[in-house]
Structures are given as structure tokens and as C-alpha cells.
């Protein structure tokens, strides 16, 4: 009897040890570096971070990228998942094609889009050859920050939409066809079935996709660093800069804690407002 009562704790022990060592210890270390000075509690590091020239720009740009990229990716993922949730010839090939960018790292994705959007890259050559433009469009440089923002959005949408797509498609495939068939029998239109059956039952998958994608959005770094550098500062990029160039571990820890705090905050919002109705009824 005692062995059975201990079994659940033994099963979760490896996961708990992993979280304690790889999450708990770094978190405590970051808190120590951020809020101590010469071994005593201090807010000096917080003041230096807030007064940093790039801090508020990095904070706003990170949120701006998330606010633009995540809704676009969610919309495209839902559209692609609905289209590919039907049996047709070439379905597997289409899914593989959509998932391929997921295998590419953010740095490699940034380099691909930099070469495509450079003054004499693929995009400018095509536009000039078909006569739409007579001179190359410049996407990169401090004076072209709005275009850099657009380039980063395109690169991230291309590279990471497949993460959301896979989760949404898996959620669609878990919805029983009996519900859809019953709605068809009672004369429900396609849009009514989507609104009343598919989307409500898809909420847990949307919730999971948004949580995961938001975690990555708060940590956006590689693509931004390649395409814009510090023209468009982001929290993860500034944390990296403080850690590797300035060697200010306290300020770098503040940036890391802010990223973690924002991720937790948005995750809590998703959990609160995107719970499926049928799960609420079960409670």
C-alpha cells in the first residue's frame, strides 16, 4: 500500500528535478543578480535598467512584434488547418511544405530573408524585372525602420506559423465528426458549424498555441538581430547585449525576468479567457 501511495511522487520526481535544476536555480540566480548589490538588497540595478536608453524602446518593440505577428499567425494557421483537415490528394505533401520552415532556426531564417530583401536580392530583382519598380527598395538601415519592422514580421510569419498550424490541426482532428454530422442533419450551415461547434471545441488548442507562440514572441531575438540589429531593440536582444558586450549581469537578469513576467502574464490571460465552454460545464 505504501509503495502505491509513493508511486505518483516517484513518477513525477524526474520532471520535478529537471524543473528545479534548469528553471528554479537560474530563476533564483537571476533574482539575486537583479536585486542585490554587494550582497545586500538594492534597487540600483532596476533603476539602471529603466534609465537605459534602449529599455523602453525594447519593451514597446517586443510588444509591438507580438501584437502584430501572433494574430496573423493564428489567423493563417486556422485557415490552413481548416483547408487541410479534409482528405484530398497531395494533403501530406502540403502539410510537409507548411512545416518545413519550422526546421529552420531563427538565425538561418533571418539570413534567408536578408538575402531576399537586400537591394539586389530576389525580391527587388523580380519587382524590377516585371517593371513594378525602377530602383531597388531598401529595407534595412536606421532610416528604414518601418520597413525593417515589416521584414521581421514577414520572416517570423513565414518561419513560425507552422508551430501554431500543427497545434490547431491536431485540435481539429480530435473533434468528433459525429457533432458535425449531427449539425448537418439539423440544417446548420458551414459558418454556423464553425461558430457553434468547431471554434468552441477548438479553444483548448488555440489556448495552447497562443501560450507557446507568445513565449517565443517574448523571446524574439535572432531574426531581429540579423535584419535590424539595434535599430529595433527587443528585450531578448538587449539582455544578450548587456550580458555579452557590457558584461552587466544584473541588468541582463532584469531583462530576463521581464520576459518571464510578460510570458506568465499573457499565459494567465489565455488560461482565463480561452477555456472551452464544455470544460466549464464539467466543473
How much is the pLDDT for 185? 87
* 202 falls within a domain: yes
CA atoms within 13 A on the CB side of 14: 2
C-alpha 105 chain-centroid distance: 13
CA atoms within 13 A on the CB side of 281: 5
Summarised one tens digit per residue, pLDDT across range 18-61 is: 999 998 999 999 999 999 988 899 999 999 999 999 999 999 99
Mean pLDDT of the chain: 90
How much is the pLDDT for 91? 87
Which residues, including other chains, have CB under 8 Å from residue 192's CB and lie 6 or more apart?
Answer: 183
* 208 falls within a domain: yes
* 1 falls within a domain: no
How much is the pLDDT for 188? 86
* 50 falls within a domain: yes
- pLDDT level of residue 186 (50, 70, 90 thresholds): confident
* 141 falls within a domain: no
CATH number, domain with residue 205:
1.10.3720.10
User: Domain tally for the chain?
Assistant: 1
Q: What's the domain range around 240?
A: 14-103+161-282
Consecutive H or E run containing 184 = helix 177-185
- Residue found under cell 558584461: 247
- Asked whether the predicted pLDDT for residue 170 surpasses 80, the reply is yes
Residues of the chain above pLDDT 90, percent: 67
37: β partners: 40
- Asked whether the predicted pLDDT for residue 283 surpasses 80, the reply is no
**How much is the CA Rg of the chain, to the nearest whole Å?**
23
Residue 209 cell numbers, joined: 498555441
pTM of the entire structure?
0.89
Please, are residues 162 and 98 in contact by the beta-carbon 8 Å criterion?
yes
* 110 falls within a domain: no
CA dihedral 104, 106, 107, 112 (to 10 degrees): 60
Summarised one tens digit per residue, pLDDT across range 70-93 is: 999 999 999 999 999 888 888 889
Amino acid at each position: 500500500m505504501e509503495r502505491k501511495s509513493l508511486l505518483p511522487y516517484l513518477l513525477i520526481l524526474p520532471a520535478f528535478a529537471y524543473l528545479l535544476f534548469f528553471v528554479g536555480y537560474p530563476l533564483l540566480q537571476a533574482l539575486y543578480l537583479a536585486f542585490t548589490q554587494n550582497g545586500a538588497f538594492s534597487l540600483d540595478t532596476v533603476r539602471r535598467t529603466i534609465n537605459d536608453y534602449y529599455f523602453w524602446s525594447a519593451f514597446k518593440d517586443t510588444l509591438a512584434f507580438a501584437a502584430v505577428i501572433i494574430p496573423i499567425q493564428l489567423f493563417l494557421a486556422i485557415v490552413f488547418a481548416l483547408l487541410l483537415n479534409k482528405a484530398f490528394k497531395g494533403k501530406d505533401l502540403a502539410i510537409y511544405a507548411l512545416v518545413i520552415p519550422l526546421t529552420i532556426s531563427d538565425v538561418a531564417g533571418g539570413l534567408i530573408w536578408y538575402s531576399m530583401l537586400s537591394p539586389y536580392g530576389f525580391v527587388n530583382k523580380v519587382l524590377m524585372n516585371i517593371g513594378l519598380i525602377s530602383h531597388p527598395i531598401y529595407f534595412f538601415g536606421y532610416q528604414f525602420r518601418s520597413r525593417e519592422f515589416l521584414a521581421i514580421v514577414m520572416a517570423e510569419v513565414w518561419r513560425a506559423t507552422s508551430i501554431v498550424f500543427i497545434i490547431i490541426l491536431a485540435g481539429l482532428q480530435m473533434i468528433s465528426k459525429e457533432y458535425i454530422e449531427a449539425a448537418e442533419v439539423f440544417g446548420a450551415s458551414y459558418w454556423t458549424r464553425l461558430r457553434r461547434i468547431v471554434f468552441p471545441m477548438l479553444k483548448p488548442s488555440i489556448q495552447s498555441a497562443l501560450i507557446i507562440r507568445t513565449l517565443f514572441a517574448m523571446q524574439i531575438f535572432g531574426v531581429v538581430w540579423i535584419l535590424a540589429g539595434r535599430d529595433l531593440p527587443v528585450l531578448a536582444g538587449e539582455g544578450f547585449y548587456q550580458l555579452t558586450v557590457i558584461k552587466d549581469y544584473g541588468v541582463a537578469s532584469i531583462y530576463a525576468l521581464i520576459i518571464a513576467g510578460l510570458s506568465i502574464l499573457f499565459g494567465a490571460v489565455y488560461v482565463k479567457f480561452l477555456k472551452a465552454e464544455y470544460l466549464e460545464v464539467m466543473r
